Amino acid sequence: MTLPCVYKEGRSRVIEVADNADVSAEAVIGEGSKIWHLAQIRDGAQLGVNCVVGRGAYIGTGVTMGDNCKVQNYALVYEPAELEDGVFIGPAVVLTNDTYPRAITPDGVLKSAHDWVPVGVSIKRGASIGARAVCVAPVTIGRWATVAAGAVVTKDVPDFALMAGVPAKRLGWVGKAGFPLKQRGEQWECPETGAMYVENDEILREVD
């Protein structure tokens, strides 16, 4: 169905929500966004404009997403995750939020939300997380980085890094187009766009 979304400046915009999606009335959904079948978006979640949340995906309480993000089918984005603009979350990805998970306390009592402090995954602009990858909070994924399918990220990821494995390790660099960069002398080149990058002390930046 199509739902109106009223903004502070008084203009009425439109989002598309599948009939069987579960979207809290306390969530904020940006204009042009699409929420597909069986997705759940909890109270206090904030999605920017033109976001896509796929079938069966979960967006936790208070999660923030920038503009033009894509969360694919059955991904689990637990609070307090923070996604900047243009982040891609592949199918069945999990962003965790409990460093030392237990169902019960040492006394054998079922734990409640007050018995632990959630920690989040922060994903910077343009980064991509491949299918079934797991990001173990607290961790930060740098700008335009790519995490390969099935990887398990346990440490912070630099900008433009290509990460794979369990635990994930850097295999190389990727450009903004997502393609692995090719080394050209002391610089790195994107084979898709021709953009050049320079590496210094394992930090990559785009050449102006």
Do the bridges between strand 2-6 and strand 12-17 make them parallel or antiparallel, or are there none, so unpaired?
A: antiparallel
125-134 tens-digit pLDDT: 999 999 999 9
Confidence grade of residue 2 (pLDDT, cut at 50, 70, 90): low
Q: Which residue has the tokens 């936790």?
A: 60
Give the least confident one: 9-13, 94-98, 159-163: 9-13
Cα–Cα distances (Å) from 200 to 43, 155, 186, in that order, read 43, 20, 10
| Alpha-carbon gap, residue 122 to 44, rounded angstroms | 17
Domains of the chain: 2-175 (2.160.10.10)
pLDDT for the residue 113: 82
Contact status, residue 167 vs residue 154, Cβ threshold 8 Å: yes
Backbone dihedral region for residue 81 (phi beyond 0: left; psi -120 to 50: alpha; all else: beta): beta
What residues does 59 pair with on adjacent strands?
Answer: 41, 77
Q: Which residue has 């965790």 as its token pair?
A: 96
Residues 44-85 have pLDDT tens digits of 999 999 999 999 999 999 999 999 999 999 999 999 999 999
Predicted confidence (pLDDT) per residue in 138-176, tens digit: 999 999 999 999 999 999 999 999 999 999 999 999 999
Residue 182 has pLDDT above 80, yes or no: yes
> Is beta strand 161-164 parallel, antiparallel or unpaired with respect to 169-173?
antiparallel
